[in-house]
Structure 1
Amino acid sequence: MMKQVAANTSDYPSLLGRTTFLVVAVIAGVFLLHAVYVYGTARAEITAGIEQDVHETLERLSRSIAPFIEAYSVHEYESLIATEMALKQHFAVELEDYEMGRILGQPYYLYGQLRHQNGQYSLFQERTPPVQHELAQAFYQASAPIVGGNEELLGTIRIYASDDLLVAKLERVVLEELLTVLALALTLSALLGTVLHRSVFRSIVAIDDALRNKDAEGIPLQPVPPFQYRELAVLSDGINTMLDSIKASREQLKLERSRLENIISGTRSGTWAWNVQTGETVYNKRWAEIAGYTLDELKPISIDTWMNLAHPDDLQRSADLLERHFRGELAYYECEARMRHKDGHWVWVLDRGQVQSWDDQGQPLLMYGTHQDITERKRAEASLSMAAGVFRHAREGIVLTSAQGRILDVNAAFSALTGYAREHVLEQYYEDILASDQYSRDFRHQVLASLDAKGVWSGEYWLRCQNGSLLPSLMTIAAVRSREGEVEHYVTLFADISHLKQTEEQLRHIAHYDPLTGLPNRLLLGERLQHAVASTRRHGDVLAVVFLDLDGFKAVNDTYGHATGDELLVTLARRMKSILRECDTVARLGGDEFVVLLPELSSGPDCKIILSRLLSALSEPVELLDRNVQVSASLGVSFYPQVPDIDAEVLLRQADIAMYQAKQRGKNQVRFFNGLDHTDDAMAVPTGDQE
């Protein structure tokens, strides 16, 4: 195509010739307009001169003839008129003498002279048709009244002017202007042509010469030379830049073509190009090799080559998919089909393609695609189908993934356990769908290391379900390897161990919580007390440990029975939880003994309000089985930190001692530990208040 264009450039008109012609035409047009203007101006001036001359003659003759008419001196005014005609060269002069007309018994006496084309004059005294015809040829006419001394109208004088003078002068003007226009136009055209050629067209010719020297692909071999003028220099630089870009793009295109050929060769893909309208088809060498042929063996090659080799059962599906792609329902065409091998067996190919150009009516023109041999994959799928029964009916969830972690298939148990539909997870990455955020990257590395070393990993794993919840499972991942030892895919089995986790949680709850009140028991209290002491030591605040024992609880048990006593404990436990802070802990040690931890206090007195609320809440009556039961509580309090430092067990014993002091001093009160149970020396309490 580029060669064709280059060969036809000689048929194009010359820019230099066209520009020169336009310049000459413009200059000639400008001067012609000027000539028209000069012609119009001269015509107007000459016409004005003729009109002025006529009016001056009328004024002079009307004054001079009046005395002759009054004196009836016809001969004198006729001589005057003849003299005026000879001097002024008027076309005609006509006089109407009313005075002589009355003498003759006529409206007027007519006297006139008319100049003919030969320059001779003739007299007329009547307006005969020939005379009127001659007078009608006049260029201009004007008349004036002849008035006597007593203001009496004596007659009318009329002068006719010819255009002979006008024509002669205008012809001279036109000739002079045309000669001037021609001379100036030629001179300016020559000058402008010379300037344009030297400053512009010579450079353009140089550009043309440079661009004519092309290679086989139509790309100029040499750069455009530089120029001194800015505009041409910019044009030259722009052309050279484009040429450099085209050459670079051509090299890049060659590189990309080479890469594409290498990719096609490396992936062992067959390629095809199909003219949908004509059926003309081009295959590469690999396309034929997949079916066991060479390209020469398949000649003549067309779309019928494919149709003859394809399995009849697959052709209709291929045609349906192609039609859907042509209608725009599918972005590309893809079909798995069988081809008859030269040896007689069938090979599976993955046929893919896409239309790249369409005609004006929206019909497909050119389509390109590839063939990939997927026979081995189909065999692997057949092998997997042998285990399909187990795969479908197993109670454990099973996931098949590729070596890269893409999900190939899942069974029904997987969907039932996780909530993911099979079609939702296929071709998705395992990590994106099922991985839980609670596992670190190190854990994943451990799993992969075990698979690499042993080919299997087993352990507990929490799967992320479709609704966002986590499913505890006992998971086993096995790597399936090829004969060469490469991992082909992974098989993951997982069993739901939710019931085991629930049992484990129940056991943990029983071990740490009081079964009657649901409060932390002695074991969990010890853990929280240790944590509270460590936290207080870090943050520098104050911890209060409250040992609480109910007053009168034994009498309730003895009077109303243990069931009522248990119900009373549950109600009081609920009251204590409702008035404590979120960071506080209330635990039941057993019987009617409780311990309250009050951390994060700024000082000892800060706990008095909470302690007062505890006493009030515990001493309020409780309605049980239509009866009111009322007890109270004795509270012993110890604080941390102390000097010297003590551990959590000592802190708890101090609170227990203070509680006994409250019992001994009347119950239903709070006592703060001061060491009086063993010695008279008061123990220092850094937070301050003692009773």
Structure 2
Amino acid sequence: MSDTRHDRAAEAALQEAVAQRRRLEMIIEGTAAGTWEWNIQSGQMWVNERWAQIVGHTRDELAPITPETFFRLVHPDDLAGSNARLTDHLEGRTARYDSLCRMRHKRGHWIWVQDRGRVYEWDAQGRPLWMAGAHADVSDLQNARQDAADMRQRLQAVVDASDEVAVIATDVDGVINLFNSGAQKLLGYSAEEVIGRINPGLFHDPEEMRAYLQPLADAAGRLPTVFEALTAHAAQGTWSRQWTYVRKDGGRRQVRLSISPLDSAGGQRFGYVGMAVDITPLLEMREQAYLAAKKFASAFSSAALGMALVSLEGRWLDVNDALCGILGYTRAELLEIDFQTLTHADDLDTDLALVADLLAGRRDHYHMDKRYRGKSGNTVWGRLSVSLVRAENGAPLHFVSQIQDVTSQRQSGQQLRESEQRTRVTLDAVADMVLTLDLQGVIQYANAAATQALAGEGAAPLTGGQVQDVIELTTEYAPRSPLDIAVLLDPDSNAVDLHSDLLLSMGAQLLPVDLTRAWLRGEDGQHSGAVWVIRDATQQRARQREARHLAEVDPLTELSNRRGFEAHLQQAIIRVARTGQSASLMFIDLDNFKPINDSHGHLAGDAMLWAVANLLRHGVRDSDIVSRLGGDEFAVILAGCSLKRARRIASDLLESVRTLSIPWGLQRLGVGASIGIAAIGGGMSVDDAVAAADALCYQAKGLGKNNVQVEVPSVEGLEPPDGGEPGEVA
């Protein structure tokens, strides 16, 4: 009876074990995992059908299944690592065997497999006997990981491509996780110093932020952090504002900071990105321009010298009080007449000839002593200095005249000597070098600055020596070719006036200088000598070069802006007129650019403009001029390039733009282009050339975009570009 109960219990236990094994098999089947068992000592191995299916086989096709079957299917580059992890487990160093490796599918391609297992039975000596595990196909997951890594690498490359824009990304708590080369250049920190360690609020000026945050305090008086305040504005989209950044070395920079949220595809917020552009140089230039205008207005109205703005026809446009006092007229009376009416008849022809030289570009300014008719009929001697103000395109606008009343000096030799003495004392106090010379180059006077600079500290006076022995002048254009000093002593020579790039040899150093000459006359009115004023122009020329660069370069793309483009185009027109060499003008208008701004924001648009600019820059010769005219419009000046050749270049550029694709978020953005090409003629104006190319670009737009339109050659019998029809679509 007892045996019967024992048999029934054993049978029940066996049935439960079978049922449990069946449940386990159903669970394994549900997970679509391939399972395996391995007798480590005998080499016997068993796998389920799913294990074989993962690599595209049936169990029968793989039979007999042994560890060598696994080794044969595993990628050679992954086998050593897998064996090392297996050994670590069998020798007890790890709790389980876990390996990610590639296995060859029956069709020949590689799949990623996650293989996990562990020993579950040991022999009497404690050696591993049976081991079991499972295979899972993780190709999709691994490929997704690789795609994500590739995308991050491409995005990092785009972010690091420009060191002119600081890009700083954080997580939602404000911890920095991206700090590009532009940020390192702007702030002076390395990426290692800030990533994972610093909140970007550190970079803001503390006083500025304290004043900004004060009104944002809550009812308990708690102020938000800098990061909380700024990201709150950017919660729904990009937010921009000007701030003061503090560099690591304590320096301060003004920046335009744009902050945007970073969201996952599912809408989950995972961080923020800030892009900062250093606008300090621009603000400094604006301040300098404002101060210069203010100083000129102040100097004009309050100057002791008579000053006037004079039209090209000679009419007084504006005069200061000092000039009214010199001539005896009211301001209203002077504005009704011209300078010719008040000029003495014997001096008028000389004055008009010098004016003509200014307008023709043969000199930058001139000086002369001349006589005016005062309101009471008296003669007023004026020492006149005139310069010409030109527009950005070089066209003359008006004259600026300075008039010093020298009537008393002319009438009284004693007063003249006293004035000369006062002048010499004054000149010894100024930093400019001042020399008085006779027409043979003998130095009659040298102020303290000239003596020290040309002869050295404590040297004997230069009086009586030859100017050729102490001064050597060259130009920036030809620094190794000294100017002839004798020519500079000729009153009829404009050698100095033609040079705005003079250099003064100071031992081994070449010092940029401006040289101003004023001619001395004897009692007979003839030239008897000259006064030279030599001024250090180092800082002035540096500011001029910087100002020209800032005024003619587009800050986003670093291409020439419209102003720089028009200057280059004017030069190209002059070159064509002088040499007869062909030149072409290409206008490029991007297609489908506006949707990028509308859908992805201006940062995406700026990234596309920068990419197109880089493509155009590398798609033409170094000697060609690539410009951004504004918005999504570009232009290329192709010097020495016929319409036929220009069309081939345009076709290549069109294809490059058409295939251009930049990553943005989870998408890739692209545009097209419409291109118009016109010939640059030697007799045309800048506006004519621009209008011709623009019209052809507009025509390309009208013909469906993404094509090239070329100007029909005007010379009879001239072949159209590439032998095709004029205006042929690329």
- Compute the TM-score of the two structures, normalised by the length of structure 1: 0.33
Q: Which has the larger radius of gyration?
A: 1
Q: Going by fraction, where is strand more abundant, 1 or 2? A: 2
Which structure is higher in RCO with an 8 Å CA cutoff and minimum separation 6? 1
